Amino acid sequence: MLTRRQTLAVGAGGLAVTMLPAVGWSATADDIIAAFTGGATPGSDGIFLDVPEIAENGNTVPVGVNAPGAEEIIIVATDNPQPGVATFRFGEAAGSHSVSTRIRLGGTQDVVAVARMADGSFVQAAAEVKVTIGGCGG
């Protein structure tokens, strides 16, 4: 765990490093996905990720994910300073296993959605979004 002081000291080293989160959370996208799946290899059927091919403004990129039968879905932005974006859990009154939101992307990168299905299996979809202006305030 980096202290704020250490984070600032490291941050002086380069612009890329200044993107480190102040709380010192440095889990990678792979770490986050592995923690979600428990190391299982996700399949690729039955999950649909809807993202634009090109996003002019990385501050607000529309993302939709639909995984019929999913109990829980995570969205990960692989190259963001904090790759974890959101976790959705569907309840008994859910009308679909589909959700849309808007996310920040620091630059061109893959967006990944992973769903945990009712039978405990996992499925994953990924798509690259080309970002013209990054959304990390850097």
Binding-site ranges for other proteins (CB under 8 A): 4, 8, 18-23, 59-61, 64, 77, 80-96, 98-104, 135-138
Q: Which is nearer to other proteins, 43 or 68 (CB)?
A: 68
Shortest Å distance, C-beta 120 to other proteins:
19
Q: Which is nearer to other proteins, 43 or 138 (CB)?
A: 138
* Single-letter amino acid code for the residue at 133: I
What are the beta bridge partners of residue 123?
43, 115
What's the rounded Cα separation, in Å, for the pair 85 and 99?
14
Shortest Å distance, C-beta 136 to other proteins:
6
Q: Tell which residue, 85, 69, 65, has the closest CA to residue 125.
A: 65
Q: Which is nearer to other proteins, 28 or 60 (CB)?
A: 60
Shortest Å distance, C-beta 75 to other proteins:
8
Shortest Å distance, C-beta 2 to other proteins:
12
Q: Which is nearer to other proteins, 43 or 56 (CB)?
A: 56
Cβ atoms 89, 72 nearer than 8 A: yes
Cβ neighbours of 86 (radius 10 Å):
15
Cβ atoms 56, 130 nearer than 8 A: no
